[in-house]
Amino acid sequence: MNIAVLMGGISPERNVSINGGLAVAKALREKGHNVIAIDPTFGKNCMISDFEFINMSVFPDFEELKKYDTKNYIECINSEVFENIDLAFLVLHGINGEDGKIQALLELRGVPYTGSGIKASSVAIDKLTSKMLFLAAGISTPPWSVIRQKDYDNYELFEEIRSELGNKLVIKPNNQGSTVGITIVRDGILDDIHQGIIAASKYSEIVLVEQYIEGREITVGVLNGEALPVIEIITSEGFYDYNHKYSKGKTQYICPAKISEDIEEFTQSLAVSAYNIIDCKGVARADFRLSDEGQPFLLELNTIPGFTETSLVPMAAKEVDLNFADLCEELVNLAFNKNSTNEKDE
């Protein structure tokens, strides 16, 4: 089968995406597929061959990303490179990859792709919209407030939020992954809240201020509507930020998590419910905070989770005897089944 693995892209998660894409390309070649590596950043010259695994502990700054034009995505998908492609395997993270845009271009070109569709992708990456859907379905998510551009410097509003949500807050962009742009405010200092909002606003006009949930951090992968084993994430210090995610030795992963069977099953059921509410396909990962009382709070749902051999979803899949190459092959099969079902529906 001719498979294009899409990686890189124009987002702060570019380096993470490249490493994941290279790992997937290697695995699919081991399965006997004809694989080409594609970075839509480069337009019609999107086929790449000389990338090497790179340091994921840093991400591109704005000046580097500004060099690239998103119009190149259109040029890439419309190029002759996709003439004989049977499937696109998506390992593009964040904006311009996980938000429905590349999915729309591939559908217009008639190329099947792995993972969730246009609507599910755009809804899941929009934290505000997905949190409202989760709450409406009875899934607990940390209480939050929304900050828009006109209120970036509104200290009176900051005071109201602090009074409502408490002194310990999480400030995040509305549509980023890998904890890009996130600030933890621990003492409710208004200047710290302001600085966190300004930092998040660099990545999204809409900024969320959430109540910080004390407790443990856990995550649940969902594969084709079935929950994988729960993983607990334990950082050496601070919170599970970009640096802890992608720097060796800074984070410990416990799989399966050492939690009670009741909490495990409940959290897995919530992850599957969130997957179905958003109408995800293929694979997704639900991230939770587990309070000291054992209540899980759903933070977000990732429709294209990290996909190196040591990433969280592959780690959980390995616990159920599904190695990395087999997991990649399973996603290829699910994508074709999804496409066949859509054609029948039409």
Residues marked as catalytic? 13, 178, 246, 285, 287, 300, 302, 306
Contact 55, 248 (CB under 8 A): no
Pairwise CA distance, residues 130 & 136, whole Å:
10
Nearest-CA neighbor of 34 among 342, 332, 249, 335? 332
Burial of 47 (0-12, 13-18, 19+ CB in 10 A): middle
Among 191, 190, 145, 150, smallest CA distance to 172 is for: 145
Q: Could you tell me which residues are beta bridge partners of residue 203?
A: none
Within the chain, strands assigned E span 2-6, 34-38, 47-48, 87-90, 144-147, 169-173, 183-185, 207-211, 216-223, 226-235, 251-254, 283-290, 296-302
Residues 6+ apart with CB under 8 A from 249: 236
N residues, the chain: 346
Cα–Cα distance measured from residue 207 to residue 127, given in angstroms and rounded to the nearest whole number: 10
- Concatenating the DSSP letter of every residue in 31-82 gives TT-EEEEE-GGGGGG-EE-------TTS---HHHHTTS-THHHHHHHTSGGG
Q: Are strands 2-6 and 34-38 parallel, antiparallel or unpaired?
A: parallel
